[in-house]
Structure 1
């Protein structure tokens, strides 16, 4: 992989003698690329994000890949990510993570990823991240929530073979072949599209949503109306995230993610 990256970098530089001339694409071609869903690009960005955390520092990487207005959903609710990250110094060892699944809007403007992470202390957990494509075609994260998972921690530490002292790449290497990518259907009525009718506590499917009384919530939807997401913070400390995608002319669940009041992934 390192050799391939070096070759690609050489081809991109005019100073590499003997290389082919740079390829120039039309404005129309580049516009189509920017408006096309590509879950693999989102996954590659997330993997690069995790690698930057390891190489350059955890919070340094979080700042570098942050979208304007991004938020972090912690135990006590959603906080402004830029303000929080501005006060943080990089820890000696970074959390490592990798995506396991990607859900993209039809136009590729919005994507949601779910993956697993490993703390330096040996605990493991799951996370969910919302990604927004920028004007230059790159992806930056706008929402992030994660929590440790007891069953995953036990399974990973039991099954994991002894590694060398520097084994920080193991989680990525193991998970890359397992990444699942899904793209929502395009909508002919995108101009008038609205988000799904989110379930209330009484009619919820999957994990039970916190009661509306005392809960705070936030929602987002892609510009083309094909992917929507919602978070809820319960007064009792529970956190919820859900994403729905447009499929076959109707909304269908893509992801439900629940965290208990004690701050662990809900096993239900």
Structure 2
């Protein structure tokens, strides 16, 4: 966690999201997977499932905790300069040993804590060859490798009296469901898209070195039932 980012400006400290993410994963192991999802969810949080984006509160309320939770850890965190929204992306491993990538959006709450507002997870296809030499999931490469190489990235902070560069325009095809979140300081934005038939996409853009950069533009494919709630 100490490697995430040192010396970030002001309140924008990606280490705080990393710490919350790790506490979230630990709670899943110790208290139960869906219990942890409910405890760390922000009001109005959503899960991007196979059928589309669903209300997390309604969906999770009917789920019993599995005997063994998915293991996960972040690899990168992007945060707006004002620290109010962030996106993390990392790797997960399910109890059967299958691995994949997840993406989670976070919002800073009035008490300063971060809670997740959007979550999606996708299994690797094809799966990598099995690694029988690996130890328990809590000690395998999903967690250990991630902790040694977490990237923390903060958007440019607007200078006083200088306008914030406008983000690029985008178009969404007819019939595609979508939603977007933009930080109040307009330095980071993310959005999801969902086409009929299950074609899904996640895009993250942030302001860095004076220009807007696309950090994630990912076709999500089919959701992982273990972490994405479907």
* TM-score, scaled relative to structure 2: 0.85
Instruction: Find the partner of 1:154 among 123, 128, 135.
Output: 128
C-alpha contact 2:93 2:137 (8 A) present in aligned 1: no
Which has a greater percent of helix? 1
- Count of matched residue positions in the alignment of Structure 1 and Structure 2: 216
Measured in 2, the distance between the counterparts of 1:190 and 1:220 equals 24
Q: CA deviation at 1:248?
A: 3.1
Measured in 2, the distance between the counterparts of 1:256 and 1:96 equals 24
Q: Deviations for 1:17-58, whole angstroms, at most 9, x for unmatched residues?
A: xxxxxxxxxxxxxxxx9x610011111110110010001100
* Aligned counterpart, 1:245: 206
Task: Structure 2: state its 5+ residue gaps.
Answer: 1-7, 225-230
Which has a greater percent of strand? 2
Question: Relative contact order: is structure 1 or structure 2 higher (C-alpha 8 Å, sep ≥ 6)?
Answer: 2
Residue 183 in structure 1 maps to residue 158 in structure 2: no
Residue 104 in structure 1 maps to residue 79 in structure 2: yes
Measured in 2, the distance between the counterparts of 1:134 and 1:74 equals 25
Instruction: Find the partner of 2:180 among 189, 196, 219.
Output: 219
Q: CA deviation at 1:190?
A: 9.7
Q: Deviations for 1:165-218, whole angstroms, at most 9, x for unmatched residues?
A: x54343322320111110000124899869733444xxxxxxxxxx71321000
Measured in 1, the distance between the counterparts of 2:158 and 2:122 equals 34
Measured in 1, the distance between the counterparts of 2:117 and 2:134 equals 36
**Once superposed, what is the RMSD of the aligned Cα atoms?**
2.4
Measured in 1, the distance between the counterparts of 2:43 and 2:214 equals 27
Q: Secondary structure at the match of 1:168?
A: helix
C-alpha contact 2:45 2:55 (8 A) present in aligned 1: yes
Instruction: Find the partner of 2:34 among 59, 68, 90.
Output: 59
Q: CA deviation at 1:143?
A: 0.5
Task: Structure 1: state its 5+ residue gaps.
Answer: 1-32, 201-210
Counterparts in 2 of 1:67-78, with a 5 A limit? 67-78=42-53
Measured in 2, the distance between the counterparts of 1:60 and 1:196 equals 37
Instruction: Find the partner of 1:168 among 127, 138, 142.
Output: 138
* Distance verdict in 2 for CA 1:112–1:93, change over 3 Å: same
C-alpha contact 2:107 2:116 (8 A) present in aligned 1: yes
Residue 228 in structure 1 maps to residue 189 in structure 2: yes
* TM-score, scaled relative to structure 1: 0.74
